[in-house]
A and B are shown apart, each in its own frame.
Chain A
């Protein structure tokens, strides 16, 4: 808390290109990681299962979308469809008898292949038109899902996920599910944190800033756009599969509809484009706050002795969710990650503000 930049002098490239350039940041990350490890022993299992677990898996998914939208700058409104591809192929593979480790990888790779189709739209158009094309592709995917009983188990049926097992161990307990989600989220986070240090990350940023200019500098924007879509689709596929395997237990087309695509994009943008920590905040806000507000409304109205229509109550979370997106964008268009960054930068040099570079 007290002048955390004290004694931080980067004298060579290796130290300047560390993930955490300031020890305080690294200590905070380690601390949060330890809390995450200990969470099953601290947090009651109800909260662990209904809040922490979806939060972590959605964060992994949002980080994947952040890769393509935040880093590579390509709008993507069909992300849920890509998650669906991964979820369905992984579950079909698992039902077929493939061990879960490989089923997840199969899910991820299938998503990569299908998700790369979206990249071909990105090669032709960008910005608004790309968003509309991916939106239309989402509708096509939805249609294929609901109209092919072989994949979805019929339009009204749903697909049961087999028991999750890793290395021959069946995973059935809440704690087990939590650790699977936690492990995946940590993996994706480490990948994303390292991205900005690699040539890949820099190339993606160059493509985002201006793809023509990047091409002139010798960055093959065709290749990197496809790579960005394929990588993010892999993350989407595995996240989708894990979401079904550890949280929903049943795969149904509605779980991956267009509203879900919009929701993930909202998480990424509210969190902040290109911000890893922001994605955590964004997911928490979009996923958890509408429910909390609804609970608050119920408590307050009961406390005041007011009678609120059931239908009204059912729609308040949606209104709150929309309002949250609008309010955050109006307060800070760069998202919660930027707000966090401002606070961090202030505390970093406090109380010696005059030393700020």
Chain B
């Protein structure tokens, strides 16, 4: 067994996994506040990346201006989606809310591609593609940057949940009826969680867009993001980060063992298997809250 190779796989897997976490944090934020599984996060990520592209390439703004501006635009879009669509279905069975977010996902994808076209484009973040060697281990710079962004966002959200607004969001997540009765605006809180998730989508869109090009494939992150979110527990941001690392390592190392056996392409299979096993063995994930159902 070649330990250097194995640790290279594991480290790169962990970095990729943190990028999945970046995506999953958006899912967790919305689920935490409103118990809505946001299957439109893939579509939002795509829109985020395309807005950055439109601002930087088409309108000619520098990237340091384009990305915050895109974040502001997406903040508004997230608020708008919650106000127009999600709020009217609040309290409905989960099947309708699932379908609504799926419909939103399809719509966002369709409208983005109809406006900007489906050809793959690059964001040009300016991160060099020169390989970076830590000892004997090869690490991709852009993955390192992405992992840094994911960790930074994680710390930012940890701090945010200690502020007054953050505590309100936590209260809503805990029990929205009780929050209502003490005068917290639940609607605004849920809207805020959508807006924040859309901002996270910009970050995920830019990093992933840099790695694999900005195109329709961005929305295919959904399965991996969902797996990470479920494995970490749908309402735990810490869980999303740790589960991201776990999934990344398992996927990268496992694919290396499985690919020769099954003839390639076993990543999808591993991700799906992790999702199924998580749900079967521990549905509330590693750090999620275990809900008790009453008859």
Contacts and interface: CB of A to CB of B under 8 A. Distances in A.
Contact of A322 (B37, B103, B263, B293): B103
B251 interface: no
B127 interface: no
Contact of B95 (A69, A317, A321, A326): A69
B131 interface: no
Contacts of A269: 95-96, 99
B13 to A, nearest CB: 20
Interface SS, A side: helix
Nearest to B281: A124
A146 B98 CA distance: 28
B159 interface: no
Interface stretch (A6-14, A51-59, A131-139, A176-184): A131-139
B88 A125 contact: no
A132 B279 contact: yes
Counting chain A residues whose Cβ lies within 8 A of the other chain, the interface size class is 35 or more
Interface stretch (A195-203, A228-236, A307-315, A345-353): A307-315
Interface string A264-303: 0110010001000000000000000000000000000000
Interface residues of B, number: 47
Nearest to B266: A143
Interface string B261-274: 01101001101110
A143 B268 contact: yes
Contact of B279 (A129, A139, A210, A212): A129
Contacts of A325: 99-100, 102-103, 106-107
A206 to B, nearest CB: 13
A131 B106 CA distance: 17
11 contacts: A128-B98, A131-B94, A131-B98, A137-B276, A139-B269, A311-B114, A311-B118, A318-B110, A322-B108, A329-B89, A330-B89
Given A75-B95, A124-B279, A312-B114, 7 more contacts: A128-B98, A132-B37, A136-B275, A136-B276, A140-B272, A140-B276, A322-B107
Interface of A: 69, 75, 121, 124-125, 127-129, 131-133, 135-137, 139-140, 142-143, 146-147, 210, 212-213, 216, 262, 265-266, 269, 273, 309, 311-312, 314-326, 329-330, 333
